[in-house]
Protein backbone atom coordinates (compact mmCIF):
# COMPACT_ATOMS: atom_id res chain seq x y z
CA UNK A 1 0.00 0.00 0.00
CA UNK A 2 1.43 3.33 -1.06
CA UNK A 3 1.32 6.01 1.60
CA UNK A 4 1.55 9.77 1.42
CA UNK A 5 2.69 11.07 4.79
CA UNK A 6 1.52 14.65 5.21
CA UNK A 7 3.35 16.79 7.72
CA UNK A 8 1.62 19.99 8.79
CA UNK A 9 1.88 22.51 11.62
CA UNK A 10 2.15 26.23 12.24
CA UNK A 11 5.02 28.28 10.96
CA UNK A 12 8.10 28.03 13.14
CA UNK A 13 7.10 24.79 14.84
CA UNK A 14 10.00 22.90 13.26
CA UNK A 15 8.55 21.22 10.19
CA UNK A 16 11.71 21.52 8.10
CA UNK A 17 13.86 19.65 10.61
CA UNK A 18 11.30 16.95 11.26
CA UNK A 19 10.71 16.49 7.55
CA UNK A 20 14.41 15.92 6.99
CA UNK A 21 14.60 13.40 9.79
CA UNK A 22 11.60 11.47 8.54
CA UNK A 23 12.74 11.65 4.93
CA UNK A 24 16.10 10.18 5.83
CA UNK A 25 14.53 7.28 7.68
CA UNK A 26 11.93 6.63 5.02
CA UNK A 27 14.27 7.15 2.12
CA UNK A 28 11.71 9.56 0.72
CA UNK A 29 12.07 12.87 -1.05
CA UNK A 30 10.24 15.88 0.40
CA UNK A 31 7.34 17.42 -1.45
CA UNK A 32 7.07 20.99 -0.24
CA UNK A 33 3.60 22.36 0.52
CA UNK A 34 4.50 25.91 1.41
CA UNK A 35 3.04 28.37 -1.05
CA UNK A 36 5.74 30.97 -0.49
CA UNK A 37 8.82 28.78 -0.37
CA UNK A 38 8.06 27.93 -3.98
CA UNK A 39 9.31 31.33 -5.05
CA UNK A 40 13.00 31.23 -5.85
CA UNK A 41 13.67 34.76 -4.67
CA UNK A 42 12.01 34.42 -1.29
CA UNK A 43 14.42 32.29 0.64
CA UNK A 44 15.30 34.11 3.83
CA UNK A 45 11.88 35.54 4.60
CA UNK A 46 10.10 32.24 4.07
CA UNK A 47 12.65 30.17 6.00
CA UNK A 48 13.07 27.94 2.98
CA UNK A 49 15.28 24.86 3.32
CA UNK A 50 18.97 25.76 3.09
CA UNK A 51 21.29 24.73 0.28
CA UNK A 52 22.78 22.09 2.57
CA UNK A 53 19.39 20.67 3.39
CA UNK A 54 18.37 20.70 -0.26
CA UNK A 55 21.54 18.86 -1.18
CA UNK A 56 20.95 16.20 1.42
CA UNK A 57 17.39 15.24 0.53
CA UNK A 58 15.65 15.60 -2.81
CA UNK A 59 13.04 18.37 -2.54
CA UNK A 60 10.23 19.24 -4.91
CA UNK A 61 8.44 22.58 -5.21
CA UNK A 62 11.12 24.63 -3.48
CA UNK A 63 12.28 27.69 -5.38
CA UNK A 64 10.55 26.62 -8.56
CA UNK A 65 8.63 29.81 -9.29
CA UNK A 66 9.59 33.24 -10.53
CA UNK A 67 8.30 36.12 -8.50
CA UNK A 68 5.71 37.08 -11.11
CA UNK A 69 4.45 33.58 -11.82
CA UNK A 70 0.80 32.80 -11.22
CA UNK A 71 0.15 29.83 -9.03
CA UNK A 72 -2.76 28.33 -7.13
CA UNK A 73 -3.82 25.52 -4.86
CA UNK A 74 -5.54 23.83 -7.79
CA UNK A 75 -2.40 23.86 -9.86
CA UNK A 76 -0.51 22.46 -6.90
CA UNK A 77 -3.02 19.65 -6.65
CA UNK A 78 -2.57 18.51 -10.22
CA UNK A 79 1.21 18.85 -10.20
CA UNK A 80 1.62 16.97 -6.94
CA UNK A 81 -0.66 14.18 -8.11
CA UNK A 82 1.33 13.80 -11.27
CA UNK A 83 4.55 13.77 -9.28
CA UNK A 84 3.36 11.20 -6.76
CA UNK A 85 2.21 8.89 -9.51
CA UNK A 86 5.72 8.88 -10.81
CA UNK A 87 7.50 8.68 -7.46
CA UNK A 88 5.33 5.90 -6.09
CA UNK A 89 6.81 3.62 -8.74
CA UNK A 90 10.03 3.61 -6.78
CA UNK A 91 8.85 4.55 -3.27
CA UNK A 92 6.29 3.08 -0.92
CA UNK A 93 6.16 6.17 1.25
CA UNK A 94 6.32 9.81 0.25
CA UNK A 95 6.51 12.84 2.45
CA UNK A 96 4.51 16.03 1.87
CA UNK A 97 5.45 18.81 4.26
CA UNK A 98 4.28 22.38 4.58
CA UNK A 99 1.99 24.81 6.29
CA UNK A 100 -0.13 26.14 3.44
CA UNK A 101 -3.46 24.88 4.62
CA UNK A 102 -5.25 25.13 1.36
CA UNK A 103 -2.48 23.52 -0.63
CA UNK A 104 -2.42 20.53 1.68
CA UNK A 105 -6.19 20.18 1.53
CA UNK A 106 -6.13 20.45 -2.24
CA UNK A 107 -3.82 17.45 -2.40
CA UNK A 108 -5.66 15.43 0.23
CA UNK A 109 -9.28 16.22 -0.66
CA UNK A 110 -9.17 17.76 -4.09
CA UNK A 111 -10.62 20.96 -5.42
CA UNK A 112 -13.57 21.28 -7.75
CA UNK A 113 -12.82 21.71 -11.40
CA UNK A 114 -13.31 25.41 -11.87
CA UNK A 115 -12.05 27.27 -14.93
CA UNK A 116 -8.92 29.32 -14.52
CA UNK A 117 -9.57 33.03 -14.63
CA UNK A 118 -7.62 34.87 -17.28
CA UNK A 119 -5.62 37.97 -16.51
CA UNK A 120 -8.06 40.05 -18.56
CA UNK A 121 -11.11 38.91 -16.64
CA UNK A 122 -9.32 39.39 -13.36
CA UNK A 123 -8.20 42.89 -14.29
CA UNK A 124 -11.65 43.81 -15.55
CA UNK A 125 -13.40 42.74 -12.36
CA UNK A 126 -10.82 44.42 -10.19
CA UNK A 127 -11.34 47.63 -12.06
CA UNK A 128 -15.11 47.40 -11.76
CA UNK A 129 -14.73 46.76 -8.05
CA UNK A 130 -12.74 49.98 -7.75
CA UNK A 131 -14.88 52.17 -9.96
CA UNK A 132 -18.37 50.83 -9.27
CA UNK A 133 -17.94 49.69 -5.71
CA UNK A 134 -18.56 46.37 -4.08
CA UNK A 135 -22.29 47.01 -3.57
CA UNK A 136 -22.90 47.02 -7.30
CA UNK A 137 -21.02 43.76 -7.69
CA UNK A 138 -22.96 42.23 -4.85
CA UNK A 139 -26.27 43.15 -6.47
CA UNK A 140 -25.04 41.66 -9.70
CA UNK A 141 -24.04 38.43 -8.04
CA UNK A 142 -27.45 38.17 -6.44
CA UNK A 143 -29.02 38.15 -9.88
CA UNK A 144 -26.50 35.97 -11.65
CA UNK A 145 -25.88 33.39 -8.95
CA UNK A 146 -28.48 33.52 -6.19
CA UNK A 147 -27.40 30.17 -4.80
CA UNK A 148 -23.89 31.30 -4.09
CA UNK A 149 -25.09 34.71 -2.98
CA UNK A 150 -27.07 32.99 -0.26
CA UNK A 151 -24.06 31.31 1.29
CA UNK A 152 -21.12 33.55 0.50
CA UNK A 153 -19.57 35.81 3.11
CA UNK A 154 -20.98 39.08 1.80
CA UNK A 155 -18.50 41.08 3.82
CA UNK A 156 -15.58 39.57 1.98
CA UNK A 157 -15.03 41.36 -1.34
CA UNK A 158 -12.59 38.76 -2.63
CA UNK A 159 -15.23 36.06 -2.54
CA UNK A 160 -17.78 38.22 -4.35
CA UNK A 161 -15.31 39.23 -7.01
CA UNK A 162 -14.12 35.70 -7.54
CA UNK A 163 -17.62 34.34 -8.06
CA UNK A 164 -18.22 37.00 -10.70
CA UNK A 165 -14.91 36.27 -12.35
CA UNK A 166 -15.94 32.67 -12.75
CA UNK A 167 -19.33 33.65 -14.09
CA UNK A 168 -17.90 35.93 -16.75
CA UNK A 169 -15.13 33.50 -17.55
CA UNK A 170 -17.39 30.52 -18.10
CA UNK A 171 -20.90 31.88 -18.55
CA UNK A 172 -22.03 29.64 -15.73
CA UNK A 173 -22.77 30.46 -12.10
CA UNK A 174 -19.91 29.74 -9.74
CA UNK A 175 -22.19 27.63 -7.58
CA UNK A 176 -22.68 25.11 -10.39
CA UNK A 177 -18.99 24.25 -10.20
CA UNK A 178 -19.06 23.58 -6.51
CA UNK A 179 -19.69 19.93 -5.81
CA UNK A 180 -18.49 19.77 -2.22
CA UNK A 181 -17.34 16.24 -2.82
CA UNK A 182 -14.12 14.79 -1.66
CA UNK A 183 -11.91 13.21 -4.26
CA UNK A 184 -10.53 9.72 -3.78
CA UNK A 185 -6.78 9.23 -4.03
CA UNK A 186 -5.05 6.09 -5.25
CA UNK A 187 -2.91 5.99 -2.12
CA UNK A 188 -3.27 6.12 1.63
CA UNK A 189 -2.92 9.48 3.33
CA UNK A 190 -1.47 9.71 6.81
CA UNK A 191 -1.62 13.13 8.39
CA UNK A 192 0.88 14.15 11.04
CA UNK A 193 0.62 17.47 12.83
CA UNK A 194 3.34 19.20 14.82
CA UNK A 195 2.46 21.12 17.94
CA UNK A 196 4.26 23.00 20.67
CA UNK A 197 3.14 25.00 23.64
CA UNK A 198 2.12 28.41 22.48
CA UNK A 199 4.66 30.33 24.53
CA UNK A 200 7.41 28.12 23.18
CA UNK A 201 6.21 28.50 19.61
CA UNK A 202 6.02 32.28 19.88
CA UNK A 203 9.48 32.37 21.37
CA UNK A 204 10.81 30.40 18.42
CA UNK A 205 9.04 32.69 15.98
CA UNK A 206 10.54 35.78 17.57
CA UNK A 207 14.00 34.30 17.48
CA UNK A 208 13.60 33.19 13.90
CA UNK A 209 12.60 36.67 12.77
CA UNK A 210 15.70 38.13 14.41
CA UNK A 211 17.75 35.47 12.66
CA UNK A 212 16.22 36.32 9.29
CA UNK A 213 17.27 39.92 9.71
CA UNK A 214 20.76 38.84 10.67
CA UNK A 215 20.82 36.66 7.58
CA UNK A 216 20.12 39.63 5.32
CA UNK A 217 16.35 39.75 4.98
CA UNK A 218 16.44 43.46 4.24
CA UNK A 219 18.64 42.93 1.21
CA UNK A 220 16.42 40.16 -0.06
CA UNK A 221 13.43 42.46 0.26
CA UNK A 222 15.23 45.34 -1.40
CA UNK A 223 15.81 43.19 -4.48
CA UNK A 224 12.05 42.62 -4.64
CA UNK A 225 11.10 46.29 -4.63
CA UNK A 226 10.34 46.41 -8.37
CA UNK A 227 7.80 43.60 -7.89
CA UNK A 228 6.23 44.74 -4.67
CA UNK A 229 2.69 44.65 -6.07
CA UNK A 230 2.91 40.99 -7.00
CA UNK A 231 0.76 38.73 -4.91
CA UNK A 232 3.74 36.63 -3.92
CA UNK A 233 5.02 39.59 -1.95
CA UNK A 234 1.80 40.07 -0.04
CA UNK A 235 3.58 38.01 2.55
CA UNK A 236 4.52 38.39 6.17
CA UNK A 237 8.03 39.77 6.44
CA UNK A 238 8.07 41.40 3.04
CA UNK A 239 5.11 43.69 3.65
CA UNK A 240 6.70 45.05 6.79
CA UNK A 241 10.20 45.46 5.41
CA UNK A 242 8.94 47.39 2.38
CA UNK A 243 7.81 50.01 4.89
CA UNK A 244 11.34 50.23 6.22
CA UNK A 245 12.77 50.70 2.76
CA UNK A 246 10.16 53.39 2.13
CA UNK A 247 11.29 55.13 5.27
CA UNK A 248 7.82 55.06 6.81
CA UNK A 249 8.65 52.58 9.56
CA UNK A 250 11.75 52.15 11.67
CA UNK A 251 13.44 48.79 11.49
CA UNK A 252 12.57 48.08 15.12
CA UNK A 253 8.91 48.82 14.59
CA UNK A 254 8.76 46.75 11.43
CA UNK A 255 10.49 43.88 13.17
CA UNK A 256 7.92 43.89 15.95
CA UNK A 257 5.11 43.96 13.43
CA UNK A 258 6.65 41.12 11.53
CA UNK A 259 6.87 39.05 14.69
CA UNK A 260 3.30 39.82 15.57
CA UNK A 261 1.99 39.05 12.09
CA UNK A 262 3.90 35.79 12.05
CA UNK A 263 2.29 34.85 15.36
CA UNK A 264 -1.13 35.73 13.95
CA UNK A 265 -0.43 33.62 10.91
CA UNK A 266 0.61 30.70 13.10
CA UNK A 267 -2.66 30.97 14.99
CA UNK A 268 -4.66 30.96 11.78
CA UNK A 269 -2.87 27.83 10.69
CA UNK A 270 -3.68 26.18 13.99
CA UNK A 271 -7.32 27.16 13.65
CA UNK A 272 -7.43 25.55 10.24
CA UNK A 273 -5.65 22.35 11.22
CA UNK A 274 -7.54 21.96 14.48
CA UNK A 275 -10.77 21.11 12.74
CA UNK A 276 -9.15 18.31 10.76
CA UNK A 277 -9.67 15.30 13.00
CA UNK A 278 -7.61 13.03 10.77
CA UNK A 279 -4.42 14.64 11.98
CA UNK A 280 -2.29 12.77 14.49
CA UNK A 281 -0.53 15.30 16.70
CA UNK A 282 3.06 15.07 17.90
CA UNK A 283 5.69 17.16 19.57
CA UNK A 284 8.43 17.91 17.00
CA UNK A 285 11.03 16.19 19.16
CA UNK A 286 9.17 12.92 19.10
CA UNK A 287 10.07 11.67 15.65
CA UNK A 288 10.29 8.14 17.02
CA UNK A 289 6.59 8.15 17.78
CA UNK A 290 5.91 9.48 14.29
CA UNK A 291 7.94 6.66 12.77
CA UNK A 292 6.07 4.10 14.84
CA UNK A 293 2.83 5.41 13.36
CA UNK A 294 4.16 5.48 9.81
CA UNK A 295 5.89 2.11 9.83
CA UNK A 296 4.58 0.18 12.80
CA UNK A 297 5.67 -3.27 11.75
CA UNK A 298 9.28 -2.91 10.62
CA UNK A 299 11.29 -4.17 13.54
CA UNK A 300 8.58 -5.22 15.91
CA UNK A 301 7.30 -8.27 14.07
CA UNK A 302 10.51 -10.24 14.33
CA UNK A 303 10.10 -10.36 18.09
CA UNK A 304 6.81 -12.10 17.78
CA UNK A 305 7.91 -14.72 15.33
CA UNK A 306 8.40 -17.89 17.28
CA UNK A 307 11.33 -20.03 16.31
CA UNK A 308 10.05 -22.98 14.40
CA UNK A 309 10.79 -26.28 15.96
Partner RNA sequence: GGUGCCUUGGAUGAGUGGCUUAGUCAACGGUCUGCAAAACCGUCUACAGCAGUUCGAAUCUGCUAGGCACCU
The binding site for RNA (CB under 7 A) comprises: 11, 34-37, 45-47, 70-75, 99-103, 110-117, 122, 126, 153, 155-159, 162, 178-181, 198, 231, 234-237, 260-265, 267-268, 270-272, 274-275
Q: In what order do the strands lie in the sheet with 3-8?
A: 59-60, 30-32, 93-97, 3-8, 188-194, 280-282
Q: Which is nearer to RNA, 87 or 164 (CB)?
A: 164
Closest separation between CB of residue 27 and RNA, Å?
26
Closest separation between CB of residue 285 and RNA, Å?
22
Closest separation between CB of residue 107 and RNA, Å?
12
Q: Which is nearer to RNA, 22 or 44 (CB)?
A: 44
Closest separation between CB of residue 128 and RNA, Å?
12
Closest separation between CB of residue 176 and RNA, Å?
12
**First and final CA of the chain: distance in angstroms?**
33
Closest separation between CB of residue 108 and RNA, Å?
12
Q: Which is nearer to RNA, 140 or 276 (CB)?
A: 276
C-alpha 66/C-alpha 13 separation (Å) is 27
Beta bridge partners of 192: 7, 280
Give how far Cα 20 sits from Cα of 55, 194, 284, Å. Answer: 11, 14, 12
Q: Which is nearer to RNA, 88 or 177 (CB)?
A: 177
Q: Which is nearer to RNA, 226 or 307 (CB)?
A: 226
Q: Which is nearer to RNA, 54 or 291 (CB)?
A: 54
Amino acid sequence: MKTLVTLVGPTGVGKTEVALTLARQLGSPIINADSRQMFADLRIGTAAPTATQLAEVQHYFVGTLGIRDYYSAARFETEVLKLTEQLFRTHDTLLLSGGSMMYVDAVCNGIDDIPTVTDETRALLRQRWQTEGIERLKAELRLLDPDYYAIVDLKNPKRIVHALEIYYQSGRPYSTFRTATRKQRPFRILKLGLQRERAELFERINRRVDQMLADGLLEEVRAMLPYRDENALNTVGYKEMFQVLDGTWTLDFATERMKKNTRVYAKKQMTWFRRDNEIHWFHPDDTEAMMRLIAPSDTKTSHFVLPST
